[in-house]
């Protein structure tokens, strides 16, 4: 039941999208002095017939249609991937056809949603005009409820049709699938690069720690001061390795994080002194030239 009414909301939304074109057509008709009713209707029809397909060519319309179809229609349409921001013309034409069908089908459902219950209530009210007030109210309420029940199978049928057709019409084109695969390949390559950097960084630190621990063990009795220096360097190297590990793992986690959430911080030049001190503790000599 919930799915049906969500699809009803999607269809009624299409009917609402027709309103701006009706307002535009009414304004154009009002600008013509003495225009007849038939001519006004013709202007409205022509405005909608030209304006709706033209609006469907705008790239953002396809994005909106895919999003609303995925969220409200569900079913097979729930698996629709996000569309490209600037799709090629064949995809725009498919989006135009879908948008036009959405507007026309939505207008039909919107009119039926008002006319069927209201018409049933009006007919029952007319037929029970000589009845007591309470009887008339109850009869009209039942008629309106019956009208809503009649709308349910129509909405369910149209909604199921939309759910089945959406992947074929709004789904990604071969060009979009190829672009998605290329982005996926770049993403995997970046993750592999980060993994290699993590392996090299941690492996280097472990080698330093191993050498320093061995040296501290050899001179622990003869040169306690050097041993303390080596142990302090081991502790600093371990902290640095842990920080690097957290940074890289944060980057890997952030690849899957929603947009807008904080990313892992990137090391800056403020960490240069700590890096140089760890290198010097292993016997490397280094010089920093500040510009």
The tally of CA atoms less than 13 A away on the side-chain side of residue 69 is 33
Mean pLDDT for 45-62 is 91
Does residue 255 have a pLDDT over 60? no
Mean pLDDT for 65-90 is 85
The pLDDT confidence band at residue 206, using thresholds 50, 70 and 90, is confident
Q: What is the pLDDT of residue 262?
A: 45
Q: What is the pLDDT of residue 54?
A: 92
Mean pLDDT for 66-74 is 90
The pLDDT confidence band at residue 267, using thresholds 50, 70 and 90, is low
Mean pLDDT for 268-277 is 65
CB 148 within 8 A of CB 117: yes
Higher-confidence residue of 229 and 96: namely 96
**C-alpha to C-alpha distance for 103 and 233, rounded to whole angstroms:** 70
Q: What is the pLDDT of residue 272?
A: 66
Q: What is the pLDDT of residue 210?
A: 81
Q: What is the pLDDT of residue 276?
A: 66
Q: What is the pLDDT of residue 43?
A: 92
Count H helices, E strands: the chain?
Answer: 9, 0
For the stretch 100-159, pLDDT in tens is 999 999 998 898 888 888 888 888 887 787 777 787 778 888 888 877 787 888 888 888
Q: What is the pLDDT of residue 40?
A: 92
Higher-confidence residue of 211 and 279: namely 211
The pLDDT confidence band at residue 261, using thresholds 50, 70 and 90, is very low
Q: What is the pLDDT of residue 286?
A: 64
Question: Per mean pLDDT, which range of 87-91, 169-173, 236-240 is the poorest?
Answer: 236-240
The pLDDT confidence band at residue 284, using thresholds 50, 70 and 90, is low
Mean pLDDT of the chain: 81
Question: In 3D, which of 160, 140, 141, 142 has the Cα closest to residue 152?
Answer: 160
CB 248 within 8 A of CB 198: yes
For the stretch 210-250, pLDDT in tens is 877 887 788 777 888 877 887 787 877 777 777 777 777 77
User: pTM of whole model > 0.75?
Assistant: no
Higher-confidence residue of 151 and 30: namely 30
Question: In 3D, which of 233, 236, 245 has the Cα closest to residue 203?
Answer: 245
The pLDDT confidence band at residue 291, using thresholds 50, 70 and 90, is low
């Amino acid at each position: 039941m919930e799915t049906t009414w969500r699809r009803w909301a999607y269809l009624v939304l299409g009917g609402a999208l027709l309103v701006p074109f009706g307002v535009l057509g009414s304004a154009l008709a009002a600008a013509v002095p003495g225009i007849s009713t038939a001519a006004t209707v013709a202007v409205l029809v022509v405005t909608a017939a030209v304006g709706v397909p033209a609006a469907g060519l705008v790239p953002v319309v396809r994005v909106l249609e895919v999003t609303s179809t995925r969220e409200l229609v569900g079913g097979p349409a729930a698996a629709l991937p996000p569309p490209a921001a600037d799709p090629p013309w064949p995809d725009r034409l498919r989006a135009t056809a879908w948008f036009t069908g959405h507007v026309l089908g939505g207008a039909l459902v919107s009119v039926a949603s008002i006319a069927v219950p209201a018409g049933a209530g009006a007919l029952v009210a007319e037929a029970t005009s000589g009845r007591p007030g309470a009887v008339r109210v109850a009869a009209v309420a039942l008629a309106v409820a019956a009208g809503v029940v009649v709308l349910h199978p129509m909405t369910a049928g149209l909604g199921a049709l939309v759910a089945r057709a959406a992947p074929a019409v709004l789904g990604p084109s071969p060009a979009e699938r190829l672009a998605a695969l290329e982005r996926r390949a770049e993403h995997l390559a970046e993750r592999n690069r980060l993994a290699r950097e993590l392996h090299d960084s941690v492996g280097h630190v472990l080698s330093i720690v191993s050498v320093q621990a061995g040296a501290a063990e050899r001179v622990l009795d003869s040169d306690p001061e050097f041993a303390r220096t080596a142990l302090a360097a081991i502790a600093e190297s371990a902290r640095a390795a842990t920080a690097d590990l957290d940074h890289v793992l944060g980057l890997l986690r952030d690849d899957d994080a929603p947009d807008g959430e904080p990313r892992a911080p990137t090391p800056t030049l403020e960490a240069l002194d700590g890096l140089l001190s760890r290198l010097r503790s292993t016997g490397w000599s280094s010089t920093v030239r500040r510009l």
